[in-house]
């Protein structure tokens, strides 16, 4: 752990990204205690108040208010929750599903392998975002559905990656050794093969958190994310779009929050790839 | 997918239809048949290009999609061309002058480009160049000036990825023996880079560009809705909101087919770039 943090500290840009990400995570967890206002409190007397540094700005609302007089800064803070939660949970679901199927395909080979890999090909041919959009429109919008859908549409990339890795690890002497000693399939896969495939899974998973956050914000922007009472960055952007001319700040700050978070995750993912296994650079 | 939206016959009949109307439509569309019969019938028709009739617009779905496809293809191809035109030269410059200011700028653009949500970029560009400066129209579909903002918004993310890829790919190729041989022959530096290095470095780039085109066909959904672009993306989005399932299903299938076709074309393109690859 200490070596990990030390190596992280030496790479200035990755360290900065980690700091920013920890800050976003802290805000996401402690959101309700940090927000100066109730994010859903409507105040018609204070509609379209610009940010504090602009003319007519008020120190009461650091980043201004929206068309209903709700505090942008507080909504921004609460929005961090949905983005991070959906990003992490969906990747966990997709990663688990994809890794399991990839392990099975790579280890058993044969007809099982070709069936699973054809499913991968089919899944990859359908654009994930459109599929998610369709399913959400039919099932209805809720946080659970959002996480589930964004998780399931990304299983194929893990399956393909893990299968490829398993194929190379399978031939290793220690796997043959374990089999010769009479280990069962489950033990060989979980104790000998999986631990040697974790580096690429972690790396691709970290990049996927970033793309999932972008996908979540796009879905919320289109009005198919979580229910509208929950503030999200994508949802705020969508409201800001309707008042682009009158209130530039409404669309500007949520976008900055998304971009900064995603950028940090990508920078950290880059670093993680180089740290865990420099050879991955040519593959991922 | 056809069965979780409630009663499609009621949806088609509209809100103030009588029960008899609903039943008539149900019989007409064959919704009363068992689901597997409906499904097999759908597949049998779909392979012949008959994707059924839109619940709302009462027109053959395939025609509606083909009507909208050119506008989306136009936008996606322009965006992709724009991305490659910027990304390939910048990637090469970044690789050949590694560590220079140009390299840092390119890497900065590459990192931010992958982090900025395209629809946010679209709104910001709209705010600055259409609303405040009035250089370009806000939205719509008339002459080429209407294409500028949507194309840039759409191009930014693929451009960033291509740039990263060109840079790392060229760096890798420049280390190879044949590049050293070419230099040893006394060939000029830029000839070596363009003729020997770039051609070999482009193979992985071509793969990604092809995949990006497939992704862009889907990525246009949000951008088209922002800029009121009359393409496939907006058709599908409206169909999704209206639960007009035949359009949604056919749209997904058409996009997947295009994606597969593009992959096939890329495989053919490899043989042009690298005569050693044969099928």
- What token pair was written down for B192? 């070596």
Among chain A residues, the shortest Cα distance to B258 is held by A125
A237 touches chain B (CB under 8 A): yes
Choose among B124, B126, B252: nearest Cβ to A126.
Answer: B252
Which is more confidently placed, B210 or A233? Answer: A233
Question: CB B109: neighbour CB atoms within 10 A?
Answer: 19
Predicted local distance difference test score (pLDDT) of residue B12: 63
Q: Is the pLDDT of residue A282 over 60?
A: no
Separation CA B257–CA B106 (nearest Å):
34
Residue range A170-191, pLDDT digits in tens:
887 887 888 888 778 888 888 8
Domains of chain B: 8-46 (no CATH), 68-278 (1.10.3720.10)
The reply to whether A282 falls in a domain is no
Q: Is the pLDDT of residue A164 over 60?
A: yes
For the segment A81-108, the average pLDDT, to the nearest whole number, is 92
Choose among A130, A244, A260: nearest Cβ to B131.
Answer: A244
For the segment A28-57, the average pLDDT, to the nearest whole number, is 77
Residue range B154-197, pLDDT digits in tens:
888 889 888 888 888 888 887 777 777 777 777 776 777 777 77
Spell out, as residue ranges, where chain B has pLDDT lower than 50.
Answer: 1-4
ipTM of the complex: 0.80
Predicted local distance difference test score (pLDDT) of residue A95: 93
The reply to whether A283 falls in a domain is no
The reply to whether A281 falls in a domain is no
Highest mean pLDDT among A44-48, A101-105, B195-199: A101-105
The reply to whether A284 falls in a domain is no
Predicted local distance difference test score (pLDDT) of residue B252: 84
Predicted local distance difference test score (pLDDT) of residue B277: 65
A22 touches chain B (CB under 8 A): no
A262 touches chain B (CB under 8 A): yes
Predicted local distance difference test score (pLDDT) of residue B279: 59
Predicted local distance difference test score (pLDDT) of residue B2: 47
Predicted local distance difference test score (pLDDT) of residue A182: 78
- CB-CB contact of A197 with A169 (8 Å): yes
The total of structural domains in chain A comes to 1
The reply to whether A54 falls in a domain is yes
For the segment A188-210, the average pLDDT, to the nearest whole number, is 84
Predicted local distance difference test score (pLDDT) of residue A203: 84
Q: Is the pLDDT of residue A243 over 70?
A: yes
Residue A125 and residue B260: Cβ atoms within 8 Å?
Answer: yes
Predicted local distance difference test score (pLDDT) of residue B28: 67
Contact list in B for residue A125 (CB cut-off 8 A) is: 214, 256, 259-260
DSSP labels for B116-147? Answer: S-HHHHHHHHIIIIIIIS-SS-SS-SSSGGGG
If DSSP states are collapsed to H, E and C, what string results for B41-73? HHHHHHCCCCCCECCCCCCEHHHHHHHHHHHHH
Residue B120 and residue A251: Cβ atoms within 8 Å?
Answer: yes
A241 touches chain B (CB under 8 A): yes
The reply to whether A280 falls in a domain is no
Among chain B residues, the shortest Cα distance to A125 is held by B256
- CB-CB contact of A203 with A213 (8 Å): no
Choose among B4, B115, B218: nearest Cβ to A129.
Answer: B218
A138 touches chain B (CB under 8 A): yes
Residue B117 and residue A260: Cβ atoms within 8 Å?
Answer: no
Q: Is the pLDDT of residue A160 over 70?
A: yes
The reply to whether A121 falls in a domain is yes
Separation CA B102–CA A157 (nearest Å):
34
**Residues of the domain holding A170:** 2-275
Residue A218 and residue B226: Cβ atoms within 8 Å?
Answer: no
Predicted local distance difference test score (pLDDT) of residue A170: 80
- CB-CB contact of B59 with B53 (8 Å): yes
Among chain B residues, the shortest Cα distance to A268 is held by B111
Mean pLDDT of all residues in chain A?
Answer: 83
Please give the C-alpha separations between residue B36 and each of B31, B46, B157, in angstroms, as whole numbers: 11, 15, 42
Beta pairing partners, B53: B60
Contact list in B for residue A266 (CB cut-off 8 A) is: 111, 114-115
Any idea what the CATH number is for the domain that residue A186 is in? Answer: 1.10.3720.10
The reply to whether A163 falls in a domain is yes
Q: Is the pLDDT of residue A97 over 80?
A: yes
- CB-CB contact of B157 with B114 (8 Å): yes
Nearest to A100 by CA among A226, A227, A190, A2: A190
Residue B115 and residue A244: Cβ atoms within 8 Å?
Answer: no
If DSSP states are collapsed to H, E and C, what string results for B66-100? HHHHHHHHHHHHHHHHHHHHHHHHHHHHHHHCCCC
């Amino acid at each position: 752990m200490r070596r990990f943090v030390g190596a992280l500290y030496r790479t200035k840009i990755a360290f900065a990204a980690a700091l920013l990400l920890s800050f976003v995570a802290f805000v996401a967890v402690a959101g309700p205690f940090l927000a100066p206002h109730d994010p859903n409190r409507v105040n018609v007397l204070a509609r379209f108040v610009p940010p504090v540094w602009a003319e007519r700005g008020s120190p009461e609302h650091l980043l201004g208010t929206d068309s209903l007089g709700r505090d942008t800064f507080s909504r921004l803070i609460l929005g961090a929750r949905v983005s991070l939660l959906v990003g992490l949970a969906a990747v966990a679901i997709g990663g688990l599903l994809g890794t399991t199927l990839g392990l099975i395909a790579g280890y058993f080979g044969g007809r099982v392998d070709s069936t699973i890999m054809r499913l991968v090909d089919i899944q990859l041919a359908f654009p994930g975002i459109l599929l998610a959009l369709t399913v959400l429109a039919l099932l209805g919008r809720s946080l659970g559905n959002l996480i589930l859908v964004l998780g399931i549409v990304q299983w194929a990339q893990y399956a393909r990656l893990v299968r490829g890795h398993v194929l190379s690890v399978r031939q290793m002497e220690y796997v043959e050794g374990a089999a010769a000693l009479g280990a069962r399939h489950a033990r060989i896969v979980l104790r000998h093969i999986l631990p040697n495939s974790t580096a690429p899974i972690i790396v691709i998973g970290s990049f996927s958190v970033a793309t999932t956050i972008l996908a979540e914000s796009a879905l919320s922007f289109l009005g198919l994310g979580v229910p509208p009472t929950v503030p999200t960055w994508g949802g705020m952007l969508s409201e800001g779009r309707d008042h682009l001319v009158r209130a530039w700040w409404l669309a500007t700050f949520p976008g900055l929050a998304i971009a900064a978070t995603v950028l940090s995750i990508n920078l950290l993912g880059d670093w993680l790839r180089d740290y865990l296994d420099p050879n991955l650079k040519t593959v991922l | 997918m056809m069965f979780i939206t409630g009663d499609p016959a009621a949806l088609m009949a509209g809100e103030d239809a009588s029960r008899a109307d609903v039943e008539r439509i149900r019989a007409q569309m064959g919704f009363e048949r068992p689901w597997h019969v409906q499904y097999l019938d759908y597949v049998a028709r779909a392979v012949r290009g008959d994707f059924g009739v839109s619940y709302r617009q009462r027109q053959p779905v395939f025609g509606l999609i083909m009507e909208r496809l050119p506008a989306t293809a136009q936008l996606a191809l322009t965006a992709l061309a724009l991305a490659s035109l910027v990304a390939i030269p910048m990637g090469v410059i970044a690789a050949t002058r590694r560590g220079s200011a140009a390299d840092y700028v390119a890497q900065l653009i590459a990192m931010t480009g992958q982090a900025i949500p395209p629809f946010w970029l679209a709104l910001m560009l709209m705010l600055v160049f259409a609303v405040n400066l009035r250089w370009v129209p806000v939205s719509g579909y008339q002459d080429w000036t209407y294409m500028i903002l949507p194309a840039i918004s759409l191009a930014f993310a693929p451009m960033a990825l291509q740039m990263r890829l060109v840079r790392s790919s060229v760096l890798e190729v420049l280390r190879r023996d044949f590049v050293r041989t070419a230099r040893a022959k006394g060939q000029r530096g830029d000839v070596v880079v363009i003729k020997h290095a770039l051609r070999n470095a482009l193979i992985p780039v071509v793969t990604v560009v092809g995949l990006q085109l497939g992704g862009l066909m889907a990525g246009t959904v949000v951008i088209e809705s922002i800029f009121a672009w009359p393409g496939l993306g907006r058709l599908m989005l409206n169909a999704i909101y209206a639960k007009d399932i035949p359009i949604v299903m056919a749209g997904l299938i058409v996009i997947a087919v295009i994606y597969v076709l593009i992959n096939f074309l890329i495989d053919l393109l490899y043989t042009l770039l690298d005569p050693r690859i044969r099928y």
